[in-house]
Structure formats: structure tokens, C-alpha cells
């Protein structure tokens, strides 16, 4: 099961958190069309964990996580049930290591919206010792503070 742990600044504006997450190395920004979905699979080797952080830029987006174990021949298992997240709500979690290879799919759902496409940004890390507390968003925040201290670059 995925473990949820929210550590975005709760008093900061969403656009700041969205832009900060977008500045993290390896962050991906995707547009999800009206009445459409976007699924992003990640191959997770045996013994590896996966963490993710995501934000929707405006409005809301549906989000869920599924696991597929190729060797089992079974259909995908829902690890995170579909839930709507507003732009004020951070989307993040962790998939614990298991002794087998699998595919973890992050699923962004805009099929309920006939009027607005949605833009999401997400960041994923895979490894044996990945943690939500020491991820690239924290590194990006440190770089941003350092750059602000150095003054404008010309």
C-alpha cells in the first residue's frame, strides 16, 4: 500500500508549490485534455521503492495509482483509489519495496471535465532508500533560496 505524507508548505500559495515542483530536476509537466486521462507507467525493480509528488495548476484533477505484476498474469491492482485533488491539495505518496518486479502507474483523470483541460506537474524517484523527506523538491527549494541570496543574474 502507498503511504501518504504531506509536507508541502500548507500556508504557501498553490502557484508557488506548483512552480517549485516544476523546478525540481526530472519534474514532468503534462496537459490533460477535456474528457481525457493521462497514465504514466514506471518500471519498479524488485527491492525498490517509488515516491511521487504532484500538483494540478488550476481547478482539480482525479488521481489514482495502480500496480501491475507482469509475472502474475493478474489485472492491475489499485493501490490508491481514485480521488479528486484541488489545486490547494498536494498529491504525494510512497510505494514500499517488494521482492518482485512490477509496473506502477500514476493515473491523472480529467474525464469528468467537459470544459477545462488541466495541467499537472509530477516528480517521481525510484530507488532502495527513497524518502519523501529528502527529495528533489527540497533541493530545488534550497537552490531557489540560494539564488535569491545571490541577487539577479545578468
Residue 145's pLDDT is 39
Residue 120's pLDDT is 97
Helices (DSSP H) in 80-150: which residue ranges?
136-150
Q: Is the pLDDT of residue 144 over 80?
A: no
Alpha-carbon distance 28 to 92, whole Å? 14
For 107-142, the pLDDT digits (tens) are 999 999 999 999 999 999 999 888 777 544 444 443
The burial class, CB within 10 Å (0-12 / 13-18 / 19+), for 60 is: middle
For 11-54, the pLDDT digits (tens) are 344 555 888 888 888 899 999 999 999 999 999 999 999 999 99
Q: Out of 67-71, 103-107, 143-147, which region has the weakest mean confidence (pLDDT)? A: 143-147
The burial class, CB within 10 Å (0-12 / 13-18 / 19+), for 72 is: exposed
Q: Is the pLDDT of residue 3 over 60?
A: no
Instruction: Look at strands 28-32 and 91-95 and give their pairing.
Output: unpaired
C-alpha cell at 141: 527549494
pTM for the full predicted model: 0.77
Amino acid at each position: 500500500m502507498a503511504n501518504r505524507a504531506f509536507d508541502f508548505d500548507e500556508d504557501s500559495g498553490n502557484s508557488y508549490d506548483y512552480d517549485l515542483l516544476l523546478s525540481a530536476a526530472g519534474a514532468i509537466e503534462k496537459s490533460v485534455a477535456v474528457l481525457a486521462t493521462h497514465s504514466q507507467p514506471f518500471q519498479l525493480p524488485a527491492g525498490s521503492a517509488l515516491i511521487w509528488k504532484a500538483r494540478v495548476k488550476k481547478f482539480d484533477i482525479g488521481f489514482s495509482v495502480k500496480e501491475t505484476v507482469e509475472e502474475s498474469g493478474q489485472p492491475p491492482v489499485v493501490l490508491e483509489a481514485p480521488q479528486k485533488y484541488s489545486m490547494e491539495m498536494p498529491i504525494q505518496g510512497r510505494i514500499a519495496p517488494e521482492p518482485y518486479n512490477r509496473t506502477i502507474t500514476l493515473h491523472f483523470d480529467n474525464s469528468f471535465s467537459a470544459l477545462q483541460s488541466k495541467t499537472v506537474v509530477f516528480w517521481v524517484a525510484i530507488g532502495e532508500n527513497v524518502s519523501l523527506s529528502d527529495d528533489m523538491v527540497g533541493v530545488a527549494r534550497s537552490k531557489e533560496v540560494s539564488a535569491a541570496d545571490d541577487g539577479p543574474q545578468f
